[in-house]
Amino acid sequence: MNLPDRFANLPEYAFPRLRALLDQHAPGGDVVHMTIGEPKHAFPAWVTDVIAENAAGFNSYPPNDGTPDLRRAIADWVHRRYGVALDADTQVMALNGTREGLYNAAMALCPEQKDGQKPAILTPNPFYQVYMIAALSVGAEPVFVPATVASGHLPDYAGVGREILNRTAIVYVCSPANPQGAVADRAYWADLFALAEQYDFRIFADECYSEIYRDAPPVGALQVAREIGADPERVTIFHSLSKRSNLPGLRSGFVAGGPETIRQIKQLRNYSGAPLPGPLQAAAAAVWADEGHVEENRALYREKFAVADQVMAPVQGYQPPEAGFFLWLPVENGETAALQVWRETGVRVLPGAYLAQGGPGQNPGEGYIRAAMVAPKTEMQDGLIRLRDCLYR
């Protein structure tokens, strides 16, 4: 039986690969998990009450695009957060987690050809793996653009050259960036919009970490688009309650953009989407409408930022993240370091190369490990001290 060639050479996914690396070895101490970006802070206690109050909705098929209440709550949040007015009926669609949206938006919007050639989809490198799979699924070429110290840990898309830019259909941007915690400022977004206009490509802005930051809230792609008068169809944003509200299990996110863009995405979802159950949509609407729990959550992460900065201050090359909840720590070799810190201390981290593409010496994640600051503060502090003393003594 023939199998599709486009998926034949996929590397093993990061976490099975990590298990293969570490699990044959005993931990060198009490285990501290710092690999997966799964928030451990408490979600709002009243969420379960809202679900229970709306439990009768489990008896009905949920609205595919999101209930009117949910879409209005999302549009209201975007207006409060970014000052951008969206039509809740035509510019917003609820998602069953943003990974679904990041994938299906490419399915709905990427053309079969660009200027008579195979289209290219540009992604940062390191990157969220769904960007690559989306590109392969639509028959596009995924082009991995390094996001390194030299580029401020954001990809320099203008530097990829005219040949690639002429056939670029979509560009993914993650800001705040996973894993580095870098934030795209107004100038970065404005330059990218100018490049998109010049070469006629779409921008997919993955902003799922936007509400975890130190001081100033990160500027948003739609916000800059409005300020500079960019075509509203040029940019599509993706957000989630997973990090903002510590609700990864709710699987609630959204996509927003120009009316024609959202119409195209909705049309595909009519045939292939899996909408969020009605009671969960009711809970999501209530959560998007509340900022108190978000401020409390952000305060907890600010405490963790301070702890990380204090523990890692002696480490040469340590760069405090601007936002998000990952530390991107320099090492000689990420796999070697992850195995060493596991065997000697029991701290579990992810080799940076597992989040990037490229061979030995060419993979921009090879000289890093990623540590997620999701454990309780004292446990996280203990893990970072053990990690520091093991790898940087």
Domains and CATH numbers, the chain: 5-42+293-391 (3.90.1150.10), 47-290 (3.40.640.10)
Specify the pLDDT at position 208.
97
Q: Is the pLDDT of residue 19 over 90?
A: yes
Per-residue confidence (pLDDT) for residue 9, from 0 to 100: 78
pLDDT at residue number 149: 95
φ/ψ of 211, rounded to 5, equals -100, 5
Q: How far is 28 from 25, CA to CA, in rounded Å?
A: 9
Average pLDDT over residues 21-41: 96
Q: Are strands 168-174 and 350-351 parallel, antiparallel or unpaired?
A: unpaired
- Residue 1 pLDDT > 90, yes or no? no
pTM here? 0.96
Residue 137's pLDDT band (cuts 50, 70, 90): very high
For 267, counting Cβ atoms within 10 Å of its Cβ (0-12 exposed, 13-18 middle, 19+ buried), the class is exposed
Look at residue 360 in the predicted model and tell me its pLDDT.
76
Q: How is residue 21 written in tokens?
A: 């690396």
**Per-residue pLDDT tens for 269-291?**
999 888 999 999 999 999 999 99
**Statement: residue 372 has pLDDT above 80:** yes
Following DSSP, what letter does each residue of 51-113 receive, concatenated? Answer: HHHTGGGGGSPPPTT--HHHHHHHHHHHHHHH-----TTTSEEEESSHHHHHHHHHHHH--S-
Least confident of 38-42, 70-74, 83-87, 335-339: 38-42
For residue 2, the model assigns a pLDDT of 74
Average pLDDT, the chain: 96
Strand pairing of 120-125 and 368-372? unpaired
Other beta carbons within 10 Å of 144:
21
